[in-house]
Amino acid sequence: MFNFLKYLLNNHLLTAIILMIFFVHSPVMAQYKINTIVIDAGHGGKDSGAIGKKAYEKDIALSIALKLGNYIETKLKGIKVIYTRKTDKFIELFKRAEIANKNNAQVFISIHVNSVASPKPTGTSTFVMGIHKSDDNLEVAQRENSVILKEKSYKKNYKGFDPNSPESYITLSLLQNAHLEQSLLFAKKVQDQFKNRAGRKSRGVKQAGLVVLWNATMPAILVETGFISNHSEEKFLRTDYGQSIIASAIFRAFRDYKNEIEKNSKFIPSNNKNSSNQNYTYTKTETNVIFKIQIKSSTGIIPSKSKQFKGLKNVEKIKYKGIYKYYVGNTGDFKKIVKLQAEVRKKIPDAFVVAFKKGERISINQALKEIGRR
Ligand SMILES: [Zn+2]
C-alpha cells in the first residue's frame, strides 16, 4: 500500500512537472501578464509645476506617486514598480517615457495637479495621447509641455517641437499613441474610481498632445488629480488623507485594468507573430519596419463587411493582448503611409499610423529612427 502511494505520488509529480514544462515552453499557452509599471511624479527640482497658495505641484505629485507605488508593491504580488523620481529632482520629459521603454513596462502613469487662472474650476481628469477636442485640453497640454523650455537641448530632443505652436500639436497628432484603446480603458477606470469610490468630481477622460506620453511604447496616461488653483482642492491635496484617497483610487483602477487585460488575453500568444490572422504579412518583411493605419479596435470581432469600416478594402485583423485591432495599409515608406492616413481619415477621422518591427509594435519615433529618418 505504501509503495503504491509512493508510486502514485511520484507519477503525479512527474505529470505535474511535465505539464509545467509544457506550459512554460508552449508559446500558445503563454499568457500576457502585466508585471512592470512606471510611476512618474510630474515636474521636480527647478521645475515646481503649478503653484498654489501654499503648495507646489511637484511635491503633491511626488507624494501621491510614492503612495500609489507603495499600494501596488504591498497589495499586488509580482509587480515591479519603477519610479522616474523618488526625490525632488529635475528630469527631462523625454527621459520619463524612456525609463518605461527601457524597463519594458506595460503601463506608464504620470501624476500631476491641474491649474488655471480662475480659482473656480475643480475636479480630476485623466489624459491619454491624442488630438485635443477642446481648447481646455490644449491648454492643459501646453502648460504641461511648457516644462521642456526649461531643458537645455529641448530643440534637439523634441525634434523642433514648440509647446506654444498649434502647428506642433497637429504634427504630434500624427504620432498618436499606438496603445490608444488600452490607455483609454485604463483612463476610464481611473476616472470611475475618482467619481464613484473616492467622491471626487470627474471632468472625464481627455485626449491631448502630451509630450511626456509621446514616446511611451505602452499604454500611458496622465492624471490631473485636482486643481491647485482652487482653494479647497489645494487644501485636500496637501493632506496625507487627500493624497491617500487619490493614490488608492488610482491603485484600484490599475488593479482592475490589470485583471481585465490579463483575463482577455488568456491563451493568446504574447508574441503575436503567429496569432489569429493568416493574412498577417510579417513573415515576408521580418527585418523591416512596417507602417500600417489602425482604423478600429474592439474586444469583440467586427465582421469584415461591417459598415464600421466605411467600405475600406483589405482590412487586416490582428488579435493582440486581448483586443482585436483592424488595420489598412502595409508599407515601409513613411511618406506613403502619411498620405494614406489622410485618405483614410476622410472616412475614419481618428485612424492613425502605427509601426511594427519583426511583428512587434514599436513607437513611430523608434520606427523613423530605424529607417533613418531621424
Ligand atoms: Zn504638471
Give a yes or no: residue 107 inside a domain: yes
The CA 120 to ligand 1 mean position distance, Å, reads 18
- Taking a C-beta distance cutoff of 8 angstroms, is the pair 233, 199 a contact? no
Query: Counting Cβ atoms within 10 Å, is residue 352 exposed (0-12), middle (13-18) or buried (19+)?
Result: buried
What is the share, in percent, of the chain residues with pLDDT greater than 90? 48
Query: pLDDT tens, 193-221?
Result: 999 999 999 999 999 889 899 889 899 99
Give a yes or no: residue 158 inside a domain: yes
Instruction: Select from 264, 286, 312 the last residue of a domain.
Output: 264
Check whether residue 284 and residue 246 sit in a common domain: no
Instruction: Select from 264, 285, 315 the last residue of a domain.
Output: 264
Instruction: Select from 223, 239, 264 the last residue of a domain.
Output: 264
Check whether residue 289 and residue 325 sit in a common domain: yes
The CA 104 to ligand 1 mean position distance, Å, reads 24
Query: pLDDT tens, 32-61?
Result: 789 999 999 999 999 999 999 999 999 999
CA angle, residues 112, 109, 180, in degrees to nearest 5: 115
The CA 206 to ligand 1 mean position distance, Å, reads 15
For 24-119, strand residue ranges (E) read 36-41, 80-83, 107-114
C-alpha cell, 45: 527640482
Give a yes or no: residue 10 inside a domain: no
Q: Can you give the CATH number for the domain in which 303 is found?
A: 3.30.70.1070
User: pLDDT-based confidence at 234, cuts 50/70/90?
Assistant: very high
Check whether residue 158 and residue 254 sit in a common domain: yes
What is the extent of the structural domain holding 108?
36-264
- Taking a C-beta distance cutoff of 8 angstroms, is the pair 68, 39 a contact? yes
The CA 144 to ligand 1 mean position distance, Å, reads 5
Check whether residue 258 and residue 122 sit in a common domain: yes
Give a yes or no: residue 2 inside a domain: no
Check whether residue 207 and residue 254 sit in a common domain: yes
Check whether residue 256 and residue 281 sit in a common domain: no
Check whether residue 216 and residue 323 sit in a common domain: no
At 124, the amino acid letter reads T
Is the pLDDT higher at 272 or at 109? Answer: 109
The CA 80 to ligand 1 mean position distance, Å, reads 24
Is residue 64's pLDDT more than 90?
Answer: yes
User: Which neighbouring-strand residues pair with 40?
Assistant: 110
The CA 47 to ligand 1 mean position distance, Å, reads 10
Check whether residue 191 and residue 311 sit in a common domain: no
Domain tally, the chain: 2
Cα–Cα distance for residue pair 178/361, rounded to 1 Å: 8
What number of other Cβ atoms are within 10 A of residue 156's Cβ?
9
Give a yes or no: residue 1 inside a domain: no
Q: What pLDDT is stored for residue 15 in this prediction?
A: 47
The CA 366 to ligand 1 mean position distance, Å, reads 26
Cα–Cα distance for residue pair 57/233, rounded to 1 Å: 12
The CA 252 to ligand 1 mean position distance, Å, reads 22
Which residue matches cell numbers 512527474? 14
The CA 255 to ligand 1 mean position distance, Å, reads 24
Q: Can you give the CATH number for the domain in which 253 is found?
A: 3.40.630.40
The CA 145 to ligand 1 mean position distance, Å, reads 8
Q: What is the mean pLDDT of the chain?
A: 83
Check whether residue 196 and residue 309 sit in a common domain: no
- Taking a C-beta distance cutoff of 8 angstroms, is the pair 105, 218 a contact? yes
Query: pLDDT tens, 126-155?
Result: 999 887 888 888 899 999 999 898 888 888
